Amino acid sequence: MTNPLLADWNTPFGLPPFDLITDDDYAPAVNAALAEARANIADITDNPAEPTFANTVEPLELAEEKLGRILGAFYGVAGADSNPAREALQRDFAPKLSAYGSEISENKALFARVEAIWDARETLDLTDEQQRVLMLTRRGFVRSGARLEGDAAAQLRAAKSRLSVLGTEFTQNLLADEREWIMKLGPDDLDGLPEFTIVTAKAAGAEKDAGGPVVTLSRSLIVPFLQFSERRDLRQKAYEAWVARGANGGKTDNRAIAAETLNLRAQRAGLLGYGTFADYKLETEMAGSPDAVRDLLMQVWKPAKAAAEADAEVLTRMLHADGWDGPLEPWDWRFYAQKRRKVLHDLDEAELKPYLQLDRMIAAAFSCANRLFGLTFKEIEGPVYHADVRLWEVTRNGTHTAVFIGDYFARGSKRSGAWCSAMRSQQRLSGDVRPHVVNVCNFAKPETGKPALLSYDDARTLFHEFGHALHQMLSDVTYESISGTSVARDFVELPSQLYEHWLEVPEVLAEFATHAETGKPMPEDLLNRMLGAATYDMGFQTVEYVASALVDLAFHDGPAPADPMQKQAEILEGLGMPHAIGMRHATPHFAHVFAGDGYSSGYYSYMWSEVMDADAFAAFEEAGDPFDTDVAKRLEETVLSSGGSVDAAALYTAFRGRLPGVAALLKGRGLDRAA
């Protein structure tokens, strides 16, 4: 029988044939695709003709086309619907793919051809896009160790291989801890919980076959439990389990993995001639250096900490008024912050949630994309990897633009968090290839027949990930290596964070924030109270984020710490971290940093991008219309369609005329008046 992954995909828009694929198909398909990729590379290096962009760089762009297609399908499933077979495949693929990557970067004949084209670039009639691809291709070879010889090359190869294995282990350990821990709730354990949280807990208990409601380590369940539960002992138990992910001892403990990862990264940077891994990683980012990152974070840290400490004093008085002695603890903050928000803004999550239906928020995101960029979304049928997954065809002026894939509900087989990926990226080199873009979230799944209700934070997450999706869908470049979100890490969050602003546009909420039972729009008074509370508790949110970013930077901007947990404690002590606030991501579950190299030395990038997104939305405000067509067109032409074809700073400057400062960020977070 033909392997469906290797056959032609005769599916709507060439989607992966998930209805035909079995887990047994992935390994032979990857092996075959690797063999084909190696043969394609050999064809390039064996070509007797003088190296040119057309006979070297362009075929290199297409060499792994089949491999990318297969891995796009596999990793999409492995992250969102894992099982033991898929986890075993991830462990098998990690060193295999790392070895292949090292083969390419160490291929002297291939690098020599690229170098020859680079040396002759001034005499070649290359387009601006081709010049950019050539520069990035050559830089990728150099930064991957193409110039290393002998023992140094072997050491780098071994380090990269081991890092790929460690990243997979870190992710799978974290998923195991999140999947296996539950806290059963008896009738007396539900005090204070609103109905929507009880419903979610019952659904989680049914999934776990627990015989009743449970709390899991899914953010969509544990956060509302910490906000509303009157049982301080249970809040403590749940919180301590949540922050202990990856640090429970035994086979799923990630602390040794983190230490080895940091050591190998430092070794890798040293082999390549850099002082630290942060120097290596930030060389290609907008920030450029660890000092620039640290400067930004510390500009935000001081006012955020001052705001958080002022809030902590108020919350501590509330704790003591309830008869509890001692300091405010991390499992108390969300509980008393929720009560205080009710007093200050007369805003209750239970009152708000019925107006934030998942389907209506999806429709809101689509409507904004239509008004800004002319995109239309039509739900379609097609092969999917899980029954909860939904598909939409995206068109513009009747022309097919993309397929959008939405996977919104939490489940035990899905890793935590929210993300956007492309199972297929836009490019024109092998035809007009349009993207397949996936948004994955972890919202609480409702009872059968009931609408899914979101928190305001959930709705922001939906808009955030859809901003990434627009970056992929509106991409308009020739070469896949610079397509969509293939940009500097501290620029990639700009489109996503910018898109969050449209959720706050009153006319959008007036149209789409409708009650799940009555269908009536959100009352104007409630809408104003919700928007008025947008920066509430921002000291807490900023401190937990910036602390994580500063720990990430310190881990990589110097010698690798022998004990990352001790180093983390020292960093937090030096910052004067408030006692009742924990890092958003402590080291053993800091997947952004340890599941792979993506955000290592780069967790700051959300804030770097926020400096730009606050300023970018101001362009619409200055035009007097959040849907101003001229500003939207300029945003698409400069930022959203260009991918990595132009330097990020140049793209932003083309849109806005200049680079922004931190003032807009502080104002947007309500921290501009903090001490």
DSSP tally for the chain: helices H, then strands E: 27, 7
Q: Which of 183, 220, 138 is nearest to 452 (CA)?
A: 220
Confirm whether 465 is a catalytic residue. Answer: yes
Q: For residue 433, list its beta bridge partners.
A: 427
**HEC assignment per residue over 430-461:** CCCECCEEEEEEEECCCCCCCCCECCHHHHHH
**Which residues make Cβ contacts (< 8 Å) with residue 421, sequence separation at least 6?**
72, 75, 76, 79, 437, 438, 440
Give, in order, the Cα–Cα distances in Å from 113 to each of 102, 262, 359.
17, 34, 52
DSSP for 186-236, please give it. -GGG-TT--HHHHHHHHHHHHHTT-SS-EE-S-HHHHHHHHHH-S-HHHHH
Report how far residue 604's alpha carbon sits from residue 547's, in angstroms, rounded to the nearest whole number. Answer: 10
Other beta carbons within 10 Å of 297: 21
Q: Which of 62, 423, 22 is nearest to 2 (CA)?
A: 22
**Residue pair 600/583 in contact by the 8 Å Cβ criterion:** no
* Pairing state between β 436-443 and 399-409: parallel
Return the axis-axis angle of helices 489-500 and 456-473, rounded to nearest 10°: 120
Q: Which of 400, 574, 589, 607 is nearest to 490 (CA)?
A: 607
Contacts 24+ apart (CB under 8 A), 504-509: 504/531, 504/534, 505/368, 505/626, 506/531, 508/364, 508/367, 508/368, 509/364
Instruction: Tell me which of 58, 106, 178, 465 is the catalytic residue.
Output: 465
**Which residues make Cβ contacts (< 8 Å) with residue 595, sequence separation at least 6?**
167, 170, 171, 174
Other beta carbons within 10 Å of 209: 6
Report how far residue 87's alpha carbon sits from residue 79's, in angstroms, rounded to the nearest whole number. Answer: 9
Report how far residue 315's alpha carbon sits from residue 340's, in angstroms, rounded to the nearest whole number. Answer: 8
Give the residue carrying structure tokens 């389907």. 359
Cα 524 from chain centre = 33
**Which value, to the nearest 10 degrees, does the dihedral of the CA atoms of residues 628, 633, 635, 639 take?**
170
Q: Which of 22, 31, 175, 33 is nearest to 85 (CA)?
A: 22
Q: Is 675 helix (H, G, I), strand (E, B) or coil?
A: coil
Q: Which residues are catalytic?
A: 465
